[in-house]
């Protein structure tokens, strides 16, 4: 029985689509895209995505043939992101009402072809570009399928950003949440306030885990032209770029540039070098409101997104308590406590954004104040804030940190002592954005799901890609695919093609799929249980406890955790059909 299951699992899936579409009807035969294929665009609305597609596949065909056709047809009756894709031996028919749907149909079609479709610099070997016949009717489960990139803690180049956006689009994520301001750096050019980038974009050093600075200056910012380029790149891939400007906390970099924005302008401020929660807040003064309105006014020209993120998290209000101005203001406004002062602040900015046609997203603290008109809350401290929001009829996006923060470890990372939550691929995949005790309200008010790449311990792009992939592909399926259609076993089988695609796109992903993962709880005292995980369903795990290299003859891990103690050395490796895969991984617990 097991042998039979393994044999089945080893046959590569015929349809290898990620995220799994809503309905797929299999059909015999294949469509071959080659020099005989034409691209027929029946409606001008689809010209732009058709031109981009043509450019992307020009190493395969100029799409000016006469025998077979890829047809883009605009039809009424589809949701914005919905499409129908019919593949027969002579024709690929794409039907959609809007560009987004047609764009997603093209992503699906590319996934039906060999991964060399993504080969950036022409074909390195001869490949037949055949797609298996089928009919697919598809639409997303969630309207908001987001990915946050924290460019405040470390700066990432616009090219690095665009590579992430391309990967999002490949897997049908649609909201790029760009975390642009932080205590440790302000990252966006604002003409009216040049010191934001002259001063606020640079810190003198970075203090790592120990809190001791490394002596190496760090910084950078995006010019307005950079932003325009990124936003346009994203638009062509049906990705909305949502800027985040944090208020009232996480604002030390701005305050270092303009101390008059703080409650104590005479104090000396520097761009932060340490991580964590800091006490500098924008003061609720006319100066600050003018500043923020000016900043947002410049952002309106750059970010057409109807949604803006205003932060709102982690703002300890010590300075509001200390400041005589704040205390007087509370008296004038009739506010009982400093929490209400934050609410006043956030509401003031929220109203300004609303007046300009923007919907505000805030971290789940915005639910504490409850003053924003029709906000969207991002539930990051677990599910309780989501429950609170949806009971009040507030739209919520789920990004609970134990399931969605991609800086959590996906394997054993001894150098990274602060990110203690074990969040392997399977955990990301099996998450579903709902409050299970509130199913109906969840279906109504949970509008989406987001993964967050916080970068305190991610100083460069290689590490960013490593942390994000392949987990963010699993996340894409979480956001798109209905609960009933999600299936970890199926996802595991589709992973080899995902990884081959990531290879084609030169993504430095974590090769966790082929390597054994040590799953144990750092907080449990010794001796403690050790579980060995391997995502590849076609492989088995063999391990040793005596320091020797595991072979096929070493004990096979049978899924039952064993006990390890101080001084234990565990070596493990996956084997497929008796042959080793991945690396030998070693875990040593010091005596
Ligand atoms: C957050 O993790 N402070 C949003």
Q: What is the mean pLDDT of residues 33-40?
A: 98
Q: Is residue 214 situated within a structural domain?
A: yes
Q: Is residue 204 situated within a structural domain?
A: yes
pLDDT band at 415 (very low <50, low <70, confident <90, very high): low
Quote the CA–CA distance of 465 and 461 in Å, as a whole number. 6
Q: How far is residue 569 from each of residues 328, 525, 530, 561, measured CA to CA in Å? A: 63, 17, 12, 15
Instruction: Give the CATH number for residue 120.
Output: 3.30.379.10
- Which of 182, 248, 382, 401 to probe ligand 1 with, by most ligand atoms within 8 A of CB? 401
For residue 12, pLDDT beyond 90: no
For residue 235, the model assigns a pLDDT of 98
pLDDT in tens, 301-338: 999 999 999 999 999 999 999 999 999 999 999 999 99
Asked which of 94, 114, 138 is the last residue of a domain, the reply is 138
Asked which of 87, 114, 138 is the last residue of a domain, the reply is 138
Q: Please work out whether the CB of residue 43 comes within 6 Å of at least one atom of ligand 1.
A: no
Q: Residue 136 CA to chain centroid, in angstroms?
A: 26
Q: Is residue 441 situated within a structural domain?
A: yes
pLDDT in tens, 425-470: 999 999 999 999 999 999 999 999 999 999 999 999 999 999 999 9
Q: Tell which wins on pLDDT, 10 or 318.
A: 318
Range of the domain at 535: 515-588
Paired with 136 in beta bridges are: 24, 85
Q: Is residue 6 situated within a structural domain?
A: no
For residue 241, the model assigns a pLDDT of 99
Q: Please work out whether the CB of residue 313 comes within 6 Å of at least one atom of ligand 1.
A: yes
Q: Are 425 and 559 in the same domain?
A: no
- By percentage, how much of the chain surpasses pLDDT 70? 97
| pLDDT, the chain, mean | 94
Measured in Å, residue 380 CA sits from the centre of ligand 1 at 6
Q: Is residue 13 situated within a structural domain?
A: no
For residue 5, the model assigns a pLDDT of 41
For residue 1, the model assigns a pLDDT of 36
Max Cα-Cα span within the chain: 79
Number of compact structural domains in the chain = 3
The minimum-distance atom of ligand 1 relative to the CA of 311 is 4
Q: Are 132 and 148 in the same domain?
A: no
Measured in Å, residue 309 CA sits from the centre of ligand 1 at 12
Q: Are 319 and 422 in the same domain?
A: yes
Q: Is residue 429 situated within a structural domain?
A: yes
Q: Are 162 and 230 in the same domain?
A: yes
Cβ within 8 Å of residue 43, ≥6 positions away:
72, 73, 74
pLDDT in tens, 17-27: 999 999 999 99
Q: Identify each DSSP E strand in 190-290 by its residue range.
A: 202-203, 218-219, 240-247
> Helix or strand or coil: residue 73?
strand
Paired with 556 in beta bridges are: 542
Q: Please work out whether the CB of residue 363 comes within 6 Å of at least one atom of ligand 1.
A: yes
Q: Are 357 and 495 in the same domain?
A: yes
- By percentage, how much of the chain surpasses pLDDT 90? 90
pLDDT band at 416 (very low <50, low <70, confident <90, very high): low
Q: Please work out whether the CB of residue 402 comes within 6 Å of at least one atom of ligand 1.
A: no
Residue owning the nearest CA to atom 3 of ligand 1: 313
Q: Are 342 and 194 in the same domain?
A: yes
Q: Which two tokens stand for residue 531?
A: 């579980």
pLDDT in tens, 332-379: 999 999 999 999 999 999 999 999 999 999 999 999 876 788 899 999
Q: What is the mean pLDDT of residues 493-497?
A: 95
For residue 421, the model assigns a pLDDT of 86
Q: What is the mean pLDDT of residues 391-397?
A: 96
pLDDT in tens, 188-197: 999 999 999 9
DSSP strand pairing (68-74 vs 83-87): unpaired
Q: How far is residue 224 from each of residues 236, 251, 380, 452, 534, measured CA to CA in Å? A: 18, 21, 30, 24, 45
pLDDT band at 2 (very low <50, low <70, confident <90, very high): very low
Q: Is residue 3 situated within a structural domain?
A: no
For residue 8, pLDDT beyond 70: no
Q: Are 566 and 499 in the same domain?
A: no
395 and 445 in contact (C-beta within 8 Å)? yes
Q: Are 399 and 481 in the same domain?
A: yes
Asked which of 84, 112, 138 is the last residue of a domain, the reply is 138
User: Cβ atoms within 10 A of the Cβ of 334, count?
Assistant: 7
Helices (H) and strands (E) in the chain, counts: 19, 24
Measured in Å, residue 313 CA sits from the centre of ligand 1 at 6
Q: Are 67 and 153 in the same domain?
A: no
For residue 9, the model assigns a pLDDT of 45
Q: Are 329 and 460 in the same domain?
A: yes
User: Cβ atoms within 10 A of the Cβ of 553, count?
Assistant: 7
Q: Are 458 and 552 in the same domain?
A: no
What does the DSSP 8-state code read for residue 261? G
Instruction: Give the CATH number for residue 576.
Output: 2.60.40
pLDDT in tens, 511-561: 888 999 998 888 899 999 999 999 998 999 999 999 999 999 999 999 999
Report pTM. Answer: 0.95
Instruction: Give the CATH number for residue 338.
Output: 3.20.20.80
pLDDT in tens, 97-154: 999 999 999 999 999 999 999 997 777 778 999 999 999 999 999 999 999 999 999 9
- Which of 377, 380, 398 to probe ligand 1 with, by most ligand atoms within 8 A of CB? 380
Q: Is residue 4 situated within a structural domain?
A: no
Measured in Å, residue 305 CA sits from the centre of ligand 1 at 22
Q: What is the mean pLDDT of residues 261-278?
A: 97
Q: Tell which wins on pLDDT, 322 or 9.
A: 322
For residue 4, pLDDT beyond 50: no
Q: Are 495 and 582 in the same domain?
A: no
């Amino acid at each position: 029985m097991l042998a039979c299951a393994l044999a089945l699992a080893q046959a590569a899936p015929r349809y290898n689509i990620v995220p799994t579409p809503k309905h797929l009807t299999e059909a015999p035969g294949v469509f071959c895209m080659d020099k005989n294929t034409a691209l027929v665009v029946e409606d001008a609305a689809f010209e732009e995505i058709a031109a981009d597609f043509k450019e992307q596949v020009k190493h395969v065909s100029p799409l000016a043939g006469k025998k077979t056709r890829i047809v883009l047809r605009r039809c009424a009756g589809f949701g914005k992101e919905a499409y129908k894709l019919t593949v027969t031996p002579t024709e690929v028919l794409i039907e959609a009402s809007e560009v987004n749907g047609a764009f997603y149909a093209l992503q699906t079609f590319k996934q039906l072809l060999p991964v060399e479709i993504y080969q950036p610099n022409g074909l390195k070997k001869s490949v037949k570009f055949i797609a298996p016949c089928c009919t697919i009717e598809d639409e997303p489960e969630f309207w908001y399928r987001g990915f946050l990139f924290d460019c405040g803690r470390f700066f990432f180049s616009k090219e690095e950003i665009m590579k992430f956006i391309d990967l999002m689009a490949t897997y049908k994520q649609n909201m790029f949440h760009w975390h642009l301001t932080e205590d440790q750096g302000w990252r966006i050019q604002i003409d009216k306030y040049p010191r934001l980038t002259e001063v606020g974009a640079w810190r003198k050093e970075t203090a790592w885990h120990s809190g001791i600075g490394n002596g190496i200056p760090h910084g950078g910012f995006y010019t307005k032209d950079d932003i325009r380029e990124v936003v346009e790149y994203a638009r062509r891939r049906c990705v909305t770029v949502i800027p985040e400007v944090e208020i009232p906390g996480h604002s030390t970099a701005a305050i270092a540039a303009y101390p008059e924005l703080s409650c104590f302008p005479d104090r000396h401020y520097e761009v932060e070098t340490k991580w964590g929660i800091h006490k500098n807040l924008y003061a609720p003064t006319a100066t600050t409101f003018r500043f923020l309105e000016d900043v947002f006014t410049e952002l309106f020209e750059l970010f057409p997104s109807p949604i803006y993120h205003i932060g709102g998290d982690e703002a300890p209000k010590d300075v509001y308590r200390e400041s005589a101005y704040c205390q007087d203001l509370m008296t004038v406004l009739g506010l009982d406590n400093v929490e209400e002062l934050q609410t006043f602040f956030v509401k003031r900015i929220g109203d300004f954004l609303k007046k300009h046609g923007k919907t505000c997203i805030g971290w789940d603290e915005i639910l504490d104040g409850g003053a924003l008109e029709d906000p969207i809350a991002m539930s990051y401290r677990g599910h309780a804030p989501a429950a609170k929001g949806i009971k009040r009829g507030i739209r919520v996006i789920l990004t609970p940190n134990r399931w969605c923060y991609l800086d959590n470890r996906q394997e054993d990372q001894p150098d990274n002592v602060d990110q203690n939550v074990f969040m392997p691929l399977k955990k990301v995949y099996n998450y579903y954005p709902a409050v299970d005790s509130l199913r109906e309200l969840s279906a109504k008010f949970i509008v989406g799901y987001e993964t967050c790449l916080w970068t305190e311990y991610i100083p460069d792009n290689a590490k960013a890609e490593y942390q994000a992939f392949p987990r963010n592909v699993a996340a894409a399926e979480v956001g798109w695919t209905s609960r009933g259609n999600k299936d970890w076993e199926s996802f595991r089988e589709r992973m080899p093609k995902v990884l081959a695609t990531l290879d084609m796109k030169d993504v430095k992903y974590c090769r966790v799929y082929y390597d054994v993962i040590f799953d144990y709880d750092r907080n449990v005292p010794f001796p403690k249980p050790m579980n060995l995980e391997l995502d590849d369903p076609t492989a088995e795990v063999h391990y040793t406890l005596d320091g020797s290299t595991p072979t096929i003859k070493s004990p096979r891990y049978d899924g039952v955790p064993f006990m390890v103690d101080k001084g234990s050395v565990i070596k493990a490796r996956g084997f497929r059909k008796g042959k080793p895969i991945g690396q030998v991984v070693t875990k040593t617990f010091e005596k």
